[in-house]
Chain A
């Protein structure tokens, strides 16, 4: 397949569990370089966990996660921090440093990882803020921003060092339609302009499918469907159809497992 001629991340036989519950069991996922890949699935299936595994913040029980040949779980602490310079991550909450202004937040990775003179740092930061439309908010503090603005500043910070890989954790969750449209547009445009690889974790089907080149649907500790957005529309699986069409009941039941209601009411 053409899409997978050049792979940036190759996840093989990944197993990760919490307590007695498998989050992933023998999962294989490949992320094509320079494309937008969406990781979708119902809440609680471990989509954010996958990003944390790729970022090395969690260690799998077994399996490998190769980022350009580096096996993330096997890296030492300092090697891991070196590899992370190739990554940018947009957290669901924005995760801006609350004691720094918008400008200082975006300048933070540049100051830490480069020795650029101050006037050049200023130019780079202003250009990144211009790209997300918030150059005018440079001197505001994070507490003065709306949720959508926080995410755009966090996006500017994530791309500050032009990383090879940008991971988005639920970028559209809780956004009003305008903010959502702005973010969809930004992610797509930045991906095309900067040529980095994007991984979007989301359960906002319409938005994610509109910009994704390839999609993985995750449930039951594994990948239940994968393909391009067009291919997914044709998948003949009740579980995938329930998710894609947002049906309240189906293989993922509406009711949490419980005893029969009549029996329980009579017991009282």
Chain B
């Protein structure tokens, strides 16, 4: 009987630990968001983080967007040409990108590139007592370290998503129009007629905004909550990528159902 009770107790403790972690992450987010901003000191920190989180992620976003747009056009063309509707390739690529692929793939790439870097950086600052020393100097690390990183991720991802879509459409044009010979006028006109700014573009950007919040929240929390050892930081970095990716895919389904489902 005792081993069974021990297992139940272990299971309960693990559950409580998870609930406690969610509570802690919420407190960190609230403290970071509601921290009284000091424009003179906060703005340069935000600009620096926008550079390292956003600008440095652009290469991977641009290259991935280009190839995904090219592949979509190629695949779409081979199917549509059988029905004589290859002019719709622009419409197909644009809708796929702005509604789904750009927010989701950009967020997944962002989690892998910027999210993991944020976690590792904050975790290492914790392991080397830099966060503790900042606290003892009388500076709140949530305000100085976490808040600018959080806002930088929140602001960057929607912009990166727009870049991803734009480059993807350009890649599709290169393959569809320049290489496979789809008539350019039809390519752009079909796209213009079918893509609605509010229903498609804005909804895509709302998704990107939600993903930006979730990925950056997970990343900064995992770094701040990491065990201050090399193994702890490695686990935290892995958790950032895994949890963010699962959250992105799960939330994408929910938001797609709410935005585009016919209920």
Contacts and interface: CB of A to CB of B under 8 A. Distances in A.
Q: How extensive is the interface on chain B, given as a class?
A: 10 to 19
B189 to A, nearest CB: 51
B135 A57 contact: yes
B139 A112 contact: yes
A109 B137 contact: yes
Nearest to A112: B139
A11 B197 CA distance: 65
A91 B129 CA distance: 8
Nearest to B127: A93
Contacts of B41: 112
A88 B136 contact: yes
A87 B130 contact: no
A81 B138 contact: yes
A93 B129 contact: yes
Interface in A53-109: 55, 57, 77, 81-82, 84-85, 87-89, 91-93, 95-98, 108-109
A170 to B, nearest CB: 12
Contacts, number: 54
A98 B135 contact: no
Interface range, A side: 20 to 34
B97 to A, nearest CB: 37
A116 to B, nearest CB: 14
Given A89-B133, A112-B41, A95 B128 contact: yes
B140 A112 contact: no
A112 B138 contact: yes
A234 interface: no
A18 interface: no
Given A95-B128, A95-B129, A98-B130, A55 B137 contact: no
A84 B130 contact: no
B135 A84 contact: yes
B3 to A, nearest CB: 21
Interface string A192-236: 000000000000000000000000000000000000000000000
A130 B136 CA distance: 23
B64 interface: no
Contacts of A108: 137, 139
Interface of B: 31, 41, 128-130, 132-140
Interface of A: 52, 55, 57, 77, 81-82, 84-85, 87-89, 91-93, 95-98, 108-109, 112-113, 154, 157
